[in-house]
């Protein structure tokens, strides 16, 4: 359909819908980690980020890894945590980060849709019972 609202009509498309959230998680992890290390080295917050952001960076690295492994729970955790952080720091961000935050929120929403659809498709595949071949070929009349 589009880059911001993925179709989740097949198992492969559902899995593909998670890619933006995985990338967003790793991006947030790296940026938070770098800013936290710089703030620790300079002993002052950098862009409002202090050393405690290392915990945030580690958490988003785990979230990205688990979303890539199609974990439903971690995908929901990632969406909730990212939305809470955006709401908590929205007033201090510039317009450019606001647009990026919106794109990432859409990515997380797509990931939630995609992961749940993926597991629904897997469940449907397991539920389909193959029909045994007709035994008329072996039957002798």
What's the predicted TM-score (pTM) here? 0.83
Checking if the pLDDT of 42 tops 70, the result is: yes
Q: Residue 141: is its pLDDT beyond 60?
A: no
Structure confidence by residue, pLDDT tens digits, 76-133: 999 999 999 888 877 665 545 688 889 999 999 999 999 999 999 999 988 876 666 6
What average pLDDT does this structure show over 35-62?
92
Q: What is the DSSP string of 7-73?
A: --SSHHHHHHTTHHHHHHHHHHHHHHHHHHHHHHHHTS-BTTB-TTHHHHHHHHHHHHHHHHTT-HH
pLDDT of residue 134: 60
């Amino acid at each position: 359909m589009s880059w911001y609202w993925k179709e989740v009509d097949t198992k492969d498309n559902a899995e593909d819908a998670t890619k933006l959230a995985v990338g967003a998680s790793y991006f947030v992890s790296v940026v938070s980690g770098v800013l936290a290390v710089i703030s620790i080295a300079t002993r002052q917050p950098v862009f409002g980020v202090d050393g405690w952001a290392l915990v945030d960076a580690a958490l988003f690295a785990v979230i990205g890894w688990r979303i890539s492994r199609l974990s439903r729970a971690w995908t929901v955790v990632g969406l909730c945590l990212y939305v809470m952080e955006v709401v908590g720091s929205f007033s201090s961000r510039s317009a450019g980060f606001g647009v990026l935050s919106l794109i990432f929120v859409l990515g997380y929403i797509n990931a939630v849709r995609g992961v749940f659809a993926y597991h629904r498709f897997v469940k449907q595949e397991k539920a389909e019972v193959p029909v045994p071949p007709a035994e008329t070929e072996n039957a002798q009349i």
